[in-house]
Amino acid sequence: MTLSVSPELVRRAVHGDRAAMAELLTDVRPGLVRYCRGRLGRVGGAYTTADDVAQEVCLAVLRALPRYQEQGVPFAAFVYRIAARKVADAQRAAIRDSAVTPTDAPPEQPDGAPGPEARAVSTDLARRLSALLNRLPDGQREIVLLRVAVGLSAEEVGTIVGMSAAAVRMAQSRALARLRNLAGDALNEVAA
């Protein structure tokens, strides 16, 4: 899947067409959520923080639309530059605000979500994957997230990170090979 937004839709959104803005956000939001989840991971077994950051990115894109100018690069480059800055802000805030927050009142209805064991297994896998991604250089990690988690094409990622599509593919290949070496059998363990 690629972030392919028609230039006409972007033009209409830039000029204040509310329907175009809504359609534009509908098109970009799923990729932004995957990108933020890939960069931020789970906190306490949930993606709440990443989803909140994705929402902030959507709002920032809307606020920045009037200043957007077509410069011969895909609209995705504009969107994911904003996303990268918002994710970096969220990471800094998480470090700064690492204190435990109180929980709300208990829910009135039973939770239909997966049980503690399933959440623990899922959280552990996400933690291990995140730890592996964090062992990659920043550039390779960004490429893997944009290509694999978000699903952008090599050309789109190249525009975002300032590389040719061929260089993106080579960096992705090297990053995935490095991840395979780092992971070894760690991700193939069977939960007891």
CATH number corresponding to 7-97+117-188: 1.10.10.10
Mean pLDDT of 55-82: 90
Looking at residue 114, its pLDDT comes to 75
DSSP state of 46: B
Looking at residue 21, its pLDDT comes to 94
Give 100: exposed, middle or buried? Use CB within 10 Å, 0-12, 13-18, 19+: exposed
Weakest-pLDDT range from 34-43, 51-60, 83-92, 129-138:
34-43
DSSP state of 32: H
Q: Does residue 99 carry a pLDDT above 90? A: no
Count CB neighbours of 87 within 10 A. Answer: 24
Confidence of residue 94 (pLDDT cuts 50, 70, 90): confident
Q: Show me where the domains of the chain are located.
A: 7-97+117-188
Looking at residue 12, its pLDDT comes to 94
Mean pLDDT of 13-37: 92
CA–CA separation, 176 vs 117, rounded Å?
A: 29
Looking at residue 190, its pLDDT comes to 46
* Cβ pair 68, 180 in contact under 8 A: no
Mean pLDDT of 80-86: 92
Give 130: exposed, middle or buried? Use CB within 10 Å, 0-12, 13-18, 19+: middle
Looking at residue 166, its pLDDT comes to 96
Looking at residue 158, its pLDDT comes to 92
Looking at residue 116, its pLDDT comes to 73
Looking at residue 1, its pLDDT comes to 40
Mean pLDDT of 154-173: 93
* Cβ pair 18, 9 in contact under 8 A: no
